[in-house]
Amino acid sequence: MAELDRQGVIQWLRCNVSPQRLDHILGVEKTAVQWAPLHGVDPIKAGQAGLLHDLAKFFPPAKLLAIAEEHRLPLDPILQASPHLIHADVSAVIASEEFGVDDPDVLTAIRCHTLGAVPMDPLACLIFVADALEPTRGNSLELEKLRQVAQHNLYQAVRLTCEQTLTYLIKHHKVIHPRVILTRNWALQMAK
């Protein structure tokens, strides 16, 4: 695993995401590193995936689609209509091309942090839940409960995070990508 220039990544992020998004990214990095030992995950890989997970978050839709097409990323009608959903896949491309990340586990964790995937290894699960539960997301009772679960049962935390996302999307009349449902069902089985 190549050494990552953390300060170089942070400099790049300062030019490419909002200050609030940078705070979120650093929160995901810190949360992932803290929780990694609880789940037998390499904290260095967790930190790298956390730091790099939202590289493409602020790319305009046309740029996301262009990079996705250039790299032959799978695009279904939902992703084409909502290109922001492919920022995770594109962030993995940028991590590889811009920062030389070649660790398949780290790249997979970056790719899976928004919609999930079936299956996900513990690192991918960790980044998925850290993205939803890091400190800048707030400290409601529900989030605090989820954080407790995430420290003890990663699969249950993935399921509950998916369910929270699904509830939000339904309440706000948003399109649901099937990967979120597949991820939820897979995590439900894994948590048993």
At 181 the pLDDT is 98
Q: Which of 61, 55, 137 is nearest to 91 (CA)?
A: 55
Residue-wise pLDDT tens digits, 11-41: 999 999 999 999 999 999 999 999 999 999 9
Predicted confidence at residue 62, as pLDDT, reads: 98
pTM listed for this prediction: 0.97
Q: Identify the burial level of 77 via C-beta atoms within 10 angstroms of its C-beta, where 0-12 means exposed, 13-18 middle and 19 or more buried.
A: exposed
Tens digits of residue pLDDT in 69-107: 999 999 999 999 999 999 999 999 999 999 999 999 999
* Rounded percentage of the chain residues whose pLDDT exceeds 90: 98
The answer on pLDDT for 150 being more than 60 is yes
Determine the Cα–Cα distance for residues 40 and 44; give it in Å rounded to an integer: 12
Q: Please report which residue ranges of 53-121 form alpha helices under DSSP H.
A: 61-70, 77-81, 87-99, 104-111
- Confidence (pLDDT) at 192: 85
Q: Are 43 and 15 in contact (CB under 8 A)?
A: no
Structural domains of the chain, with CATH? 6-137 (1.10.3210.10)
Residue 3's pLDDT is 83
Q: For residue 113, how many other CB atoms are within 10 A of its CB?
A: 28
